[in-house]
Protein backbone atom coordinates (compact mmCIF):
# COMPACT_ATOMS: atom_id res chain seq x y z
CA UNK A 1 0.00 0.00 0.00
CA UNK A 2 1.26 3.46 -0.92
CA UNK A 3 1.78 5.43 2.30
CA UNK A 4 1.60 8.81 0.55
CA UNK A 5 -1.78 7.95 -0.98
CA UNK A 6 -3.11 6.90 2.44
CA UNK A 7 -1.85 10.17 3.97
CA UNK A 8 -3.39 12.24 1.16
CA UNK A 9 -6.75 10.45 1.52
CA UNK A 10 -6.77 10.86 5.32
CA UNK A 11 -5.80 14.53 5.01
CA UNK A 12 -8.52 15.09 2.38
CA UNK A 13 -11.12 13.41 4.60
CA UNK A 14 -10.04 15.51 7.58
CA UNK A 15 -10.13 18.76 5.58
CA UNK A 16 -13.46 17.74 4.04
CA UNK A 17 -14.91 17.16 7.51
CA UNK A 18 -13.55 20.50 8.72
CA UNK A 19 -15.02 22.13 5.61
CA UNK A 20 -18.40 20.56 6.34
CA UNK A 21 -18.33 21.91 9.90
CA UNK A 22 -17.19 25.42 8.95
CA UNK A 23 -18.89 25.72 5.59
CA UNK A 24 -17.57 26.96 2.28
CA UNK A 25 -17.81 30.64 3.20
CA UNK A 26 -15.60 30.31 6.28
CA UNK A 27 -13.14 28.02 4.48
CA UNK A 28 -12.67 30.59 1.71
CA UNK A 29 -12.44 33.42 4.26
CA UNK A 30 -9.65 31.60 6.08
CA UNK A 31 -7.83 30.93 2.81
CA UNK A 32 -8.03 34.60 1.82
CA UNK A 33 -6.83 35.60 5.29
CA UNK A 34 -3.79 33.37 4.84
CA UNK A 35 -3.02 34.87 1.43
CA UNK A 36 -3.39 38.41 2.79
CA UNK A 37 -1.16 37.57 5.77
CA UNK A 38 1.57 36.19 3.51
CA UNK A 39 1.32 39.29 1.31
CA UNK A 40 1.64 41.56 4.36
CA UNK A 41 4.67 39.56 5.49
CA UNK A 42 6.35 40.04 2.11
CA UNK A 43 5.56 43.78 2.24
CA UNK A 44 6.99 44.01 5.75
CA UNK A 45 10.19 42.31 4.58
CA UNK A 46 10.38 44.72 1.63
CA UNK A 47 9.85 47.67 3.99
CA UNK A 48 12.55 46.44 6.36
CA UNK A 49 15.09 45.97 3.57
CA UNK A 50 14.16 49.36 2.08
CA UNK A 51 14.71 51.09 5.42
CA UNK A 52 18.00 49.28 5.82
CA UNK A 53 19.12 50.38 2.33
CA UNK A 54 17.62 53.88 2.82
CA UNK A 55 15.57 53.53 -0.38
CA UNK A 56 12.92 56.23 0.10
CA UNK A 57 10.85 55.28 -2.95
CA UNK A 58 10.44 51.68 -1.81
CA UNK A 59 9.70 52.81 1.75
CA UNK A 60 6.84 55.00 0.56
CA UNK A 61 5.52 52.32 -1.80
CA UNK A 62 5.71 49.66 0.93
CA UNK A 63 3.82 51.80 3.42
CA UNK A 64 1.16 52.67 0.83
CA UNK A 65 0.78 49.00 -0.12
CA UNK A 66 0.50 48.01 3.54
CA UNK A 67 -2.25 50.59 4.07
CA UNK A 68 -4.06 49.49 0.91
CA UNK A 69 -3.79 45.85 1.93
CA UNK A 70 -5.17 46.70 5.38
CA UNK A 71 -8.19 48.38 3.80
CA UNK A 72 -8.67 45.43 1.44
CA UNK A 73 -8.49 43.01 4.38
CA UNK A 74 -11.17 44.98 6.23
CA UNK A 75 -13.37 44.93 3.13
CA UNK A 76 -12.89 41.18 2.65
CA UNK A 77 -13.70 40.61 6.33
CA UNK A 78 -16.88 42.68 6.07
CA UNK A 79 -18.02 40.87 2.92
CA UNK A 80 -17.39 37.43 4.38
CA UNK A 81 -19.12 38.24 7.68
CA UNK A 82 -22.19 39.18 5.65
CA UNK A 83 -21.90 36.04 3.53
CA UNK A 84 -21.47 33.93 6.65
CA UNK A 85 -24.69 35.34 8.11
CA UNK A 86 -26.52 34.62 4.84
CA UNK A 87 -25.00 31.12 4.63
CA UNK A 88 -26.51 30.22 8.01
CA UNK A 89 -30.03 30.61 6.66
CA UNK A 90 -31.81 27.23 6.77
CA UNK A 91 -32.06 26.79 3.00
CA UNK A 92 -28.44 27.72 2.28
CA UNK A 93 -26.88 25.99 5.29
CA UNK A 94 -26.87 22.54 3.64
CA UNK A 95 -25.41 23.93 0.41
CA UNK A 96 -22.73 25.80 2.39
CA UNK A 97 -21.78 22.59 4.22
CA UNK A 98 -21.64 20.45 1.07
CA UNK A 99 -19.56 23.03 -0.76
CA UNK A 100 -17.38 23.28 2.36
CA UNK A 101 -16.55 19.59 1.94
CA UNK A 102 -15.50 20.25 -1.66
CA UNK A 103 -13.37 23.27 -0.72
CA UNK A 104 -11.77 21.39 2.19
CA UNK A 105 -10.83 18.45 -0.01
CA UNK A 106 -9.52 20.78 -2.72
CA UNK A 107 -7.37 22.39 -0.05
CA UNK A 108 -5.64 19.03 0.52
CA UNK A 109 -4.78 18.83 -3.18
CA UNK A 110 -3.26 22.31 -3.04
CA UNK A 111 -1.17 21.27 -0.01
CA UNK A 112 0.09 18.25 -1.97
CA UNK A 113 0.97 20.52 -4.91
CA UNK A 114 2.94 22.80 -2.57
CA UNK A 115 4.82 19.76 -1.23
CA UNK A 116 5.67 18.77 -4.81
CA UNK A 117 6.95 22.30 -5.54
CA UNK A 118 9.15 22.23 -2.41
CA UNK A 119 10.54 18.82 -3.39
CA UNK A 120 11.32 20.01 -6.92
CA UNK A 121 12.84 23.31 -5.76
CA UNK A 122 14.96 22.31 -2.77
CA UNK A 123 17.15 19.45 -1.66
CA UNK A 124 14.78 17.45 0.53
CA UNK A 125 17.00 14.39 0.83
CA UNK A 126 15.57 10.93 1.42
CA UNK A 127 12.12 12.23 2.36
CA UNK A 128 11.72 14.03 -0.95
CA UNK A 129 13.05 11.04 -2.86
CA UNK A 130 10.60 8.73 -1.10
CA UNK A 131 7.63 11.03 -1.79
CA UNK A 132 8.67 11.22 -5.45
CA UNK A 133 8.94 7.40 -5.59
CA UNK A 134 5.48 6.97 -4.04
CA UNK A 135 4.09 9.46 -6.54
CA UNK A 136 5.53 7.55 -9.51
CA UNK A 137 4.16 4.26 -8.11
CA UNK A 138 0.55 5.47 -8.00
CA UNK A 139 -1.47 6.53 -11.03
CA UNK A 140 -3.70 8.97 -9.09
CA UNK A 141 -0.76 10.70 -7.43
CA UNK A 142 1.01 10.94 -10.79
CA UNK A 143 -2.08 12.58 -12.32
CA UNK A 144 -2.28 15.03 -9.40
CA UNK A 145 1.42 15.80 -9.87
CA UNK A 146 0.89 16.47 -13.58
CA UNK A 147 -2.14 18.71 -12.89
CA UNK A 148 -0.11 21.03 -10.61
CA UNK A 149 -1.02 24.47 -11.99
CA UNK A 150 1.12 26.26 -9.40
CA UNK A 151 4.26 24.55 -10.69
CA UNK A 152 3.45 25.57 -14.27
CA UNK A 153 2.76 29.13 -13.15
CA UNK A 154 6.02 29.31 -11.17
CA UNK A 155 7.96 27.82 -14.09
CA UNK A 156 6.54 30.57 -16.31
CA UNK A 157 7.83 33.22 -13.90
CA UNK A 158 11.43 32.06 -14.05
DSSP-assigned states of every residue in 16-56: HHHHHHH-HHHHHHHHHHHHHHHHHHHHHHHHHHHHHHT-H
pLDDT of 157 reads: 59
Which residues in the chain show pLDDT less than 70?
157-158
The predicted-structure confidence for 67-95, as pLDDT tens digits, reads as follows 999 999 999 999 999 999 999 898 899 99
pLDDT of 8 reads: 94
pLDDT of 122 reads: 85
Amino acid sequence: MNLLLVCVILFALWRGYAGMKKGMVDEIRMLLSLVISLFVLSLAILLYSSVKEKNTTNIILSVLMLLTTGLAARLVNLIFKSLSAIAHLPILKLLNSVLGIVVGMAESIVVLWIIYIVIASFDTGRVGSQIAAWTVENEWLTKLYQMNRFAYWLAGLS
